Structure 1
Amino acid sequence: MSALWLALHFPLLALEAEHGPRPEPRVLVRANRVLLANPAARAAGVEAGLRLGTARALCETLEVHEARADQQHQALLREARQLLALTPQVCPAPPATVLLEVGGCLKLFGGFKPLLARVDRYRLHCPLTSRLGIGPTPLAAWHLTDPPPLDAPPEAARFQAWLADLPLAELDLDERLRRRLQAPGFRTLGELFPLPRAALGKRFGVDFLDWLQRLLGEQADPRKPISPPRPFRERLDFDDPLDDLDRLSGPMGTLLAKLEDTLNRHQESLVTLRWHLYLNNGHRDTLIVRRARQGHDAATWLDLSQRRLSHHELSAPLLGL
């Protein structure tokens, strides 16, 4: 199978990174200007570029949030790690997109339609607003957003036609370059395809030519995939066997503090935790603790672990955790 890329855009990531989609009108601001508005705010007339005072006048119930690039970046990495369940080739494309090479894993999922079904399930449960793109190259997938229903990977000619129809005004390029491209009267990307590549580079710059050739697959566009999360394993052995589960609170807190420190250092979080209880009869009990949303804080994990522990009975004293 030839290369096939998916793009998952999170257009409201900066607003939804902490609390997910909200029905209340919300905006992201920087230097007293609106950077991003959610659907409820836009319905009230609030758009990017407005002064905050004007936005408040249009919508009295407006929630205002300051832009935080670190929070947005961490949220993007969290989603990228979730998508490693689909393919090892998951490449964050900041500020708000994740690119996935899926051509090499179609057989694993039983074909194109089952793979797209998995992507649809991910989007259904994802706590972020998302849009899907598909293409033969990373840049093509980035631009070919919201494709029609598909039963099979589109052929190269169909991708080429979709790319040709892209308006120049909507390309992910510098605004000044877009105006230069439109100045001679060009309106769609396809109007540039027949022109000699050398002439395009001379007229619009080598950076644009490089971008165009990567978009069309005429030049390689290597992307660096993220690494899978590091496994975290820690064990405590007890000097004397424990037969009272209430006494596990301290040892659990010790291990969870180490876990929280590791997750913070690597900007990671998790939804499932496994405790192994080593018994003095040679057996091991396993307790699985889950939470609804990803998290890294030791206090919440300890509370959930203690609740799970309250429903467990020991068959023998504990030697380790």
Structure 2
Amino acid sequence: MYYVAHRLFAAHDRALAAQLAHHLALKIGEDQVFLPFCDTDEEDLVADVKGRRIFELDRERLRSVRAFLAIVHGPSPDDGVCMEIGYAAALGAPVILLTTDFQDYSAAPHGPRTVFPDPLLDALATRIVRVPLLGTAVRGPATSRFADFAARNHAQAQYATEACVDAALQLPARLPTMSVPAQDSSTVYAEPSPYTAAHYALPGLTTITGVTILGPTRFAAVEPITAARHDWDAALSSARIVVDGSGPETPPGAALLIGAACATGRPVAAYLPRSTYTHAVGREPNHRNLMVQYGVDATLRSADEVTAWING
């Protein structure tokens, strides 16, 4: 099963993902491609707890994924997509990331650059398909510059989806099995939020004794992608993972690690002292993204709850 992940919440995002899934299905057959929202019939799905049911349906596909294709754009990657990327990568599935973003990212004005705002995305990608430039279009006598600009964007999207499909079809027939690191019961990995003033510290950690608290190294590293791989291994070898979910949406690194912990059975909690909720017809209120909400074992609201969860 080839899983196509994408931001769900605007028509143009869903249309681009459908285009990618369609081109892939033409090559390998519709029954080999899973497209969330479309294949869970999300708009018309009826369930007692609809958000949880959507999470369960998507997780079932993730557990049998042959390859994972994700559309990732901009300085704020979708947290649900990042959760799914982390899940697939932790199970050893190849991850192909498609972006039409023309920006690079760095932690300092002249620091090392990465394709994505969090180097962990670069590190987890088996292949990055990047199409940053507009396509070409011939302007006819009856068109405007706006129609011409739209045509150039359509051409870019067309080329990007075709390149992503080609990358998926070039994956080897047999892929190596990824080994899951053994857990070290004396360590806890703590992932802070880049959106908070503390940035590199979660509340409540200084009062914990008897465990080693590990944290990210990638944001200040000379080689951020190498450091990101180290962070990934450190998180997956820890007995517990706690992430700070503060921000406009769950930070990419936090969402990636939630997905990885969910896939491998590691306890994971999200510190979220204040949350906005999302609402949709027939669905219970969710903490912004339902994949993140149901992927964690606990949502922590205070420093005392962080301490208690780690000590528990």
TM-score normalised by length of structure 1: 0.26
Larger relative contact order (Cα-Cα within 8 Å, sequence gap ≥ 6): 2
Decide which structure has the larger Cα Rg and report it. 1
TM-score, normalising length from structure 2? 0.27
